[in-house]
Structure 1
């Protein structure tokens, strides 16, 4: 596996060591492989870790099979993939509701299998959406970029925004939920607010449109806990319409939650990527509340 990366025009002069550690966030194990095997070249030349690189330099990275053991997966149906962005390292797709992000059993088929078939090789999940939720999901196309994207996600440098149609009227134009979330001991499928033992969870809410008995809100995640938006809204008396777990009043044919935007700065090109996606089924259900 070989990658050719050209440092963008705005890239500052720095050392190879700093490039890998501070800018590309390459894990220590992989940095060790690159260094010990001399599998990193700058402008076609082998260099040392203190060599300087700058804008316009050509960086070549080579990985052996020992660096990343080959992984196999059942290939899905490429025609089911709605790709909205793709380059050498990552792909962003629009997931329909009712499809799992990844399989839980070896022979099960999910979105990851379809994306891998579309790309032509095994891809990797960076973050997931619940089966009932539609919208944008980011996948890594190779194991080199996966931990880098994971680090960006952990450092809150990947922004994800959702539309949610909730029960009742929300009075404030904007608010922030900071309730900690933990497991529900009585139902393994569910999560609940647990201020003493739960994990930190932060959701930014802004009101988009009011209906007679419902409110359309935009939700931006600062953390990514399981069912975070669903739990926060339900806990504060505004469960998402159509939610089979957290709302007993089923008034829609689907969970009215859609991940409509994802934004990040590309770790290698410094390009600002913002992708937006609609959902036909979400919009169709929304018209019933006008």
Structure 2
């Protein structure tokens, strides 16, 4: 694999060593191979490890197959992939409801397999959506960018906004829910609010409109706990319509949709912002 990255104007001042170690998060063993094999070049020149990189420089990285061995997975159906954004490093797609992000078994076909078939190479999961949830989701196209995207997620700079139709009339225009979330003691499928043993979870909720006895809300995540929005809303009496685990009101689907995803591209530093549309979610709103 060979990658050529044009250093953007806003890129912070640093040396090649600092860039590879602190910014691109390349593992120590692979950095050693890059250095000994002279597989790092700036403007087509082999450089000193302490050389600075500046705006406009062409940083070239060459990885051997043993540096990042490709994990073979079965390919799915490329025609099932709805692309929202794509470049040579990553792809953002619109996940349909009722499809897993990735399989639990090596032979199970899920969205990851369909995306890999579309890209024609093995892709990697950056974050997940519940099987019942639709909307925007990011996949890494190569193992080089995967830890960088994971860091953006950990640093809470990949902004995810969801739309949810919940039961009841949400009383406030905005509310931040901070209840800790843990595993259900008797049902391994479920999560619960657990103030003592739960993990920190933070969800910002904004009421968009009231539809009869239901409310359409926008939710922004600062953490990514399993079932976070579903648990937070249901715990406060506003379970999502159609939720098979936490709601008593049936619907043709879980009325939760990852509507918008925004982040700064780690290589170009441009703002990537996409919106995903779900016809089944819109139809569910229209029935209220």
Common fold: TM-score over 0.5: yes
Tell me, what secondary structure is at the counterpart of 1:17? helix
- Runs of at least 4 residues off by over 6 Å: none
Whether contact under 8 Å (1:25, 1:151) holds in the other structure is no
Whether contact under 8 Å (2:70, 2:122) holds in the other structure is no
State the alpha-carbon separation in 1 of the partners of residues 167 and 29 from structure 2.
48
| Cross-structure match for 2:45 | 45
C-alpha displacement at 1:39, in angstroms? 1.4
Whether contact under 8 Å (1:2, 1:62) holds in the other structure is yes
Per-residue displacement from partner, 1:89-119 (whole Å, max 9, x unpaired)?
A: 0000000100010011121110000000000
| Cross-structure match for 1:244 | 244
| Cross-structure match for 1:98 | 98
**Closer, same or farther in 2 for the Cα pair 1:14/1:240, shift >3 Å?**
same
Whether contact under 8 Å (1:27, 1:147) holds in the other structure is no
Per-residue displacement from partner, 1:34-88 (whole Å, max 9, x unpaired)?
A: 2333211101111122101100000000111111112101010000000010001
State the alpha-carbon separation in 1 of the partners of residues 177 and 211 from structure 2.
22
Residues 11-20 or 266-275, more deviating: 11-20
State the alpha-carbon separation in 1 of the partners of residues 142 and 248 from structure 2.
42
C-alpha displacement at 1:278, in angstroms? 1.1
**Closer, same or farther in 2 for the Cα pair 1:181/1:32, shift >3 Å?**
farther
**Closer, same or farther in 2 for the Cα pair 1:209/1:68, shift >3 Å?**
same
State the alpha-carbon separation in 1 of the partners of residues 56 and 154 from structure 2.
29
| Cross-structure match for 1:182 | 182
State the alpha-carbon separation in 2 of the partners of residues 159 and 265 from structure 1.
10
TM-score between both structures, scaled by the size of structure 1: 0.96
| Cross-structure match for 1:287 | 286
Unaligned segments of structure 1, at least 5 residues: none
Residues 211-220 or 31-40, more deviating: 31-40
Tell me, what secondary structure is at the counterpart of 1:56? coil
C-alpha displacement at 1:27, in angstroms? 4.0
The within-5 A match list for 1:167-246 is 167-246=167-246
State the alpha-carbon separation in 1 of the partners of residues 192 and 212 from structure 2.
28
C-alpha displacement at 1:29, in angstroms? 4.1
Per-residue displacement from partner, 1:152-177 (whole Å, max 9, x unpaired)?
A: 10010111110000000111100101
Unaligned segments of structure 2, at least 5 residues: none
Computed over aligned residues only, the root mean square deviation of the Cα atoms, in angstroms, reads: 1.2
| Cross-structure match for 2:5 | 5
State the alpha-carbon separation in 2 of the partners of residues 18 and 132 from structure 1.
42
